[in-house]
Chain A
Amino acid sequence: DGGITQSPKYLFRKEGQNVTLSCEQNLNHDAMYWYRQDPGQGLRLIYYSQIVNDFQKGDIAEGYSVSREKKESFPLTVTSAQKNPTAFYLCASSNQGLTGHTIYFGEGSWLTVV
């Protein structure tokens, strides 16, 4: 099936640890994104990438890092510098970047700090 696959679905992190969330798409989309969603809230952009080997910070990039070594993959690392990482993380992709083209989302990953 074509789509966006996020893993793991649920992840628990101890304070002080880095964790990496995986996002893979087989839609051949150029652009990929990471959003954070807190309970009962909207979506906030963490990082985005319009092309392989290039990415830009979104509105809440502090404490996060990404890489885009392959077109189909855009992993997000939540570092220990992120003071309040417990949230629902959503990966998305679109076929021609941010200029008004349709963005599709994965099913999300729940991260909880214990």
Chain B
Amino acid sequence: GENVEQHPSTLSVQEGDSAVIKCTYSDSASNYFPWYKQELGKGPQLIIDIRSNVGEKKDQRIAVTLNKTAKHFSLHITETQPEDSAVYFCAAVDSSYKLIFGSGTRLLVRP
């Protein structure tokens, strides 16, 4: 089945710097890759997603890139702000149509 690995597990950046979180997946048939932001004690919130027919997608300060050949996708956050501090999860849909999550990255943006 699908296996999603996410790195790094923690990431600390200075306010205004960029943050990059990377994920790899194992099922070459996966075609949908969402990213979620989870604040303490709350449910995950979808922040951006990408499908396999595109290589990059942007939404203001957030972008996601997908390399299907290498089976990896990344989240890029530019001009980071303290409110970006949270846990970020990547995910991929496996061949049985279940959403498999990475283990999460705790992002800390230092003011």
Contact = CB atoms under 8 A, between A and B. Distances in A.
A48 to B, nearest CB: 7
Category for how many chain B residues contact A:
20 to 34
A110 B43 CA distance: 11
A61 interface: no
Given A42-B103, A98-B99, A99-B93, A108 B51 contact: no
A102 B93 contact: no
Nearest to A6: B43
Contact of B44 (A44, A45, A48, A90): A90
A105 B45 contact: yes
A108 B97 contact: no
A92 B41 CA distance: 16
B101 to A, nearest CB: 5
A105 B101 CA distance: 14
Nearest to A35: B101
A41 B103 CA distance: 6
Category for how many chain A residues contact B:
20 to 34
A100 B41 CA distance: 26
Given A98-B93, A103-B34, A42 B101 contact: yes
Contact of B43 (A42, A44, A106): A106
Contact of A100 (B36, B51, B96, B104): B51
A92 B34 CA distance: 14
Contacts of B104: 40-42
A45 B34 contact: no
A63 interface: no
Nearest to B89: A42
B26 interface: no
A90 B97 contact: no
10 shortest interchain CB distances as A-B pairs:
A100-B32, A98-B97, A105-B43, A42-B103, A43-B101, A42-B101, A107-B43, A105-B44, A108-B43, A100-B93
